[in-house]
Amino acid sequence: MQVLSDDADATDEELYARALDLGLDRHDLVVRRILIHKVRLLIGRVDEREASEAELRDWYDQHASDALPERVSFWHVFLAADSRDETALRHAERQLAALRERRPAPRDAVREGDSFAMPAHLVAQSPAQLEKLFGAPFATDVLASPAGAWAGPFASPWGLHLVFVERREAGTPPPFDQVRGRVLESWREAERARRLKESVHEMRRRHALEVESRAWQEREASR
């Protein structure tokens, strides 16, 4: 900010006054963003209070499972084939049809596949684990497959897989006492967002706002 003044000994207050004279609070994008962020923080902390134990436990009950991924256990018959090879795909589809018709036990069916470095039976796998082991498309396909039936063929970087989903499990939330700090912070953030939304609504009610941006006008009109 010193470049705004020829006086090397100018105080912060003088430099601030010079910045206002230049309209940096109105025209400088970085300054505007800093001011907007600061106001958001200030509004979010107006009338801030601590949550009661009952409020925290209620918040935990409502949101404990929000971020918990479903887990899936499954068997897979691995076929060492190029998923882009039409002949290999047709062979895999015929093998899938045979499994559906014969309905062998999954532990017996996997012996009909090719050898594979990973186990033929995977237990309680999360989406992130599946994606890490087999890639995102495979994870999506398995998680969308019905339980108790053979499905596929699903491609991975290693080849093709015929999959038998054994069971699905909802994520189990940790006990309240173990995550109380995270619950408190989540509640605080939600309360700050609520206060900010109410304050912005009140400011819009009390003050007419004119913005020339067409994109902003279209966004507001669509709300």
Mean pLDDT of 178-198: 79
The secondary structure of the chain, three-state, reads CHHHCCCCCCCHHHHHHHHHHCCHHHHCHHHHHHHHHHHHHHHHCCCCCCCCHHHHHHHHHHHCCCCCCCEEEEEEEEECCCCCCHHHHHHHHHHHHHHHHHCCCHHHHHHHCCCCCCCCEEEEECHHHHHHHHCHHHHHHHHCCCECCEEEEEEECCEEEEEEEEEEECCCCCCHHHCHHHHHHHHHHHHHHHHHHHHHHHHHHHCCCCCCCHHHHHHHHHC
> How does residue 183 score in pLDDT terms, banded at 50, 70 and 90?
confident
Tens of pLDDT, residue by residue over 21-68, are 777 766 667 766 776 666 666 665 666 678 888 888 888 888 776 656
Q: Which of 130, 138, 142 is nearest to 157 (CA)?
A: 138
Both 54 and 138 in a single domain? no
Both 133 and 210 in a single domain? no
Q: What is the CATH number of the domain that holds 99?
A: 3.10.50.40
Both 110 and 144 in a single domain? yes
Both 76 and 118 in a single domain? yes
The domain boundary, picked from 169, 184, 207, lies at 169
Both 26 and 61 in a single domain? no
Both 28 and 104 in a single domain? no
Both 186 and 153 in a single domain? no
Contact between residue 121 and residue 138 where contact means Cβ atoms under 8 Å apart: no
Q: In the chain, how many domains are there?
A: 3
Tens of pLDDT, residue by residue over 80-116, are 987 778 899 999 999 999 999 999 999 999 999 999 9
Both 40 and 121 in a single domain? no
Q: 127 is in which domain, residue-wise?
A: 71-169
Both 88 and 164 in a single domain? yes
Both 107 and 151 in a single domain? yes
Tens of pLDDT, residue by residue over 125-168, are 888 899 999 999 999 999 999 999 999 999 999 999 999 999 98
Both 95 and 144 in a single domain? yes
Both 184 and 98 in a single domain? no
